[in-house]
Amino acid sequence: MKFNHHFELLESSPSHRLYGSGDALARIDFISASALRVALYRRGETLANTFNVDPDNTLSRNGRERLSLDGFTPAAVSYDDGAFSLPCGVKVKVDRHNFLLSYYLKGQRLFADRAPLAYSIENEYGAICHYVSREENEYIYGCGDKGGGINKAKRAFRIETTDCMGYDASSTDPLYKHIPFYICENTVGSYGIFYDTSCTSYLDFGKEINNYYEPYKYFKTEDNCLVYYVFFGSKLEILQQFSALCGRQILPPRWSFDYCASTMAYTDAENAGEAFDEFLTKIHETGLSCSGFYLSSGYTSIGKNRYVFHWNTDKFPSPQQFITVFKDAGIHIIPNIKPAFLLDHPMYDDLAARGLFIQNPDGTPFVTQFWDGGGSYLDFTNPAAFDFWKAQVTEKLLDLGIDATWNDNNEFDIKDPDARCFTGERACTMRPTLTYLMVLASYEAQREKYPALRPFLSTRSGSAAVRRLAQTWSGDNRTAFEDLRFCHNIGLTMSMSSLMFYGHDLGGFTGDMPSRELLLRWLQHGVFEPRFTIHSWNKDGSATMPWSYDDILPSVKKLFVERQSLLPYLYSSAYFCVRDNIPLNAPLTLYYPDCEVKDGTDSMMFARDILVPFIFDEGVTKTNVYLPAGEIWYCGDRKYRGGQFVEMEIQPTDAVPYFVRGGSVIPTVDGFTVYPLEYGAFESAFYTDDGVSCDGGTLRKFCVNCTDSTVEINCDKNVKLTPCDGRKLIFV
């Protein structure tokens, strides 16, 4: 009977339970001391493999079984009176009538499945759903690259990927990422939920209300089952658990944190060679540091269209010589590659004959719109197509001296349910998986070509799985102050969704050439992003460059110097980001409970120890910066106690003043600066290596004890250390 299902216990062990009601099965696995997995599916139903979950970093082409326990450390939970007690202190009550789960922390309900029915067990809600309780004033963080404010409460989102050039960063949805994960903070505590699916899905955080139920939020998916993970702890602990579940991200090479230039204008130009020669001349003349160039797809053009793996030899008579010239200048070329082949691509007919494209039911290539015409997507679930891509990346790019790839336009915009993958699955349900496999094929090619080097890849689209392989960015944003403000939030939201190596197209990608003020404000933000790249496709065909305005070049140079000064701190923090899943950028609310930061601010944490304020409004030069309570904050030669607002003046022409948390040692190009506590001891650490190889580096530790007159430090005495206040520095 619908809305009335009684579940019997079918299996049990110290770390799992399996229940059944007719054909419906419900399984709970306690995968750690502070996390569990819930799965609802039907007897005999095939559950597609997952590519999102990979705690052992196997990087499999085939993914893993959706209900595998490999890589987990299952927790033995205690069971009493219909409830499980997790080692973390959370109690989970199971109501076998309709299989309703309720979660309690310190005797208070943290959240619960919505009664009387939370799941579409017998198609009661017309789709696979999960309804859970909602507090009126709770906070929601995460969900990938979602626009608007940091707090997603009372909003609704489609979890799907799309090519959304020129999107409105305040409201456009969906964007490029598929990450059905969120962290909820309410009056009792925090929890996180990740829905393990690659299908188009929906998350509603209170936009919908219904008179028949208590306030709720819900998830809905086009999948044939429901598999989700629940995490407990602080917001940071939840993010760390989710990130570890998806797999360890790769530490990018150090050169990738330097300025990496780009523009569509150069490769689209008929005189591309002259444009690139002029770029190298300007880099030399201005003295600006540059270690990479994202090579836009115009290098593959035939006429006005773009054909992946085809070099336009009219623009680039000798691709290898072009690459060598840039390499000799210390600049890595990062070429744009796309997974679709236009119908008139020189390789199209051969690839179609070999069956390497996504196909129609009759075996012909599935054709869809792609850029300026019809095209077909390569089917990366087909081993032959996967290997073809690897071979092309190697032959057409890596063998010429390139050592990085820019995996672009890889949203796999296929919605037709008849389109099929080699595996037999519907392509529309595999879109984020196809993206991941594309990036994995590029990754394997790079690792095999350069086994001693850490690969560098960038991808625009994907699920949380791509964190294991590549950096990302916020896509084709607009040249506008409003988009600067909301891209700030989009980036921090990606960080809160496990995509921690990210950036933006500084200045804005599409629109007019940014004004002087807007370009400088974008650069001020970019100094503190993992990816520091200006990229543009301006309406008038111009290229946004650091030297676009001669009169502000001195200010641009200040910002480049500030970036260079902080690179040791950024690179060291990147190591801890990989090791411990500590984001390189984060909203203040990730670390601090202060109500002033819960909805987001115009500041962000730059790794763990630096707080950076920004200005996002045209013509404004002053801002009130909130400094979280419980800390001492240093800015220049001034010290502030947390828990207050501080007025700051930040001119667009200046380097950005920032605050350093007391109890840290900050490395810069000039040495190390100690930012002491008022009293007490702390430890800090710094990592460095050769920047490119897979070999381990050096981890230097600082043990510091602070008194009212001295700062005692135990470390390598050969390092250059400077105290930031007047206390005497003593080596012990």
Q: Provide the pLDDT for residue 82.
A: 85
Residue 495 and residue 240 in contact, taking contact as beta carbons nearer than 8 Å: no
Percent of the chain beyond pLDDT 70? 100
What amino acid occupies position 697?
Answer: G
pLDDT digits (tens, 9 = 90+) for 4-58: 999 999 999 999 999 999 999 999 999 999 999 999 999 999 999 999 999 999 9
Q: Provide the pLDDT for residue 696.
A: 87
| Chain position carrying tokens 């450390």 | 73
Q: Which residues of 231-267 are buried (b: 16+ CB within 10 A; e: fewer)?
A: bbbebbbbbbbbbbbbbbbbbbbbbbbbbbbbbbbbb
Q: Strand 301-302 relative to strand 292-295: parallel, antiparallel, unpaired?
A: unpaired
pLDDT digits (tens, 9 = 90+) for 339-376: 999 999 999 999 999 999 999 999 999 999 998 789 99
Q: Which helix (H) or strand (E) holds 666?
A: strand 664-668
Q: Provide the pLDDT for residue 38.
A: 98
| Chain position carrying tokens 């950005």 | 656
Q: Provide the pLDDT for residue 1.
A: 80
Provide CB contacts within 8 A for 350, sequence distance 6+. none
Counting every residue written for the chain, the total comes to 732
The C-alpha atoms of residue 421 and residue 339 are separated, in whole angstroms, by 14
In the Cβ-directed half-sphere of 674, how many Cα atoms lie within 13 Å?
Answer: 30
The 3-class secondary structure across 471-511, one letter per residue, is: EECCCCCECCHHHHHHHHHHHHHHHCCCCCCCEEEECCCEE
Q: Provide the pLDDT for residue 732.
A: 86
* Chunked mean pLDDT (size 10), the chain, 732 residues: 94 95 97 98 96 97 97 93 94 97 98 97 96 97 98 98 97 98 98 98 97 97 98 98 97 98 97 97 98 98 96 97 98 98 98 98 97 94 98 98 98 97 97 98 98 98 98 98 98 98 98 98 98 97 98 98 98 98 98 98 98 98 98 96 98 98 97 96 97 94 96 87 90 88
Q: Where are the alpha helices (DSSP H) in 300-382?
A: 319-328, 348-353
Provide CB contacts within 8 A for 598, sequence distance 6+. 139, 151, 185, 589
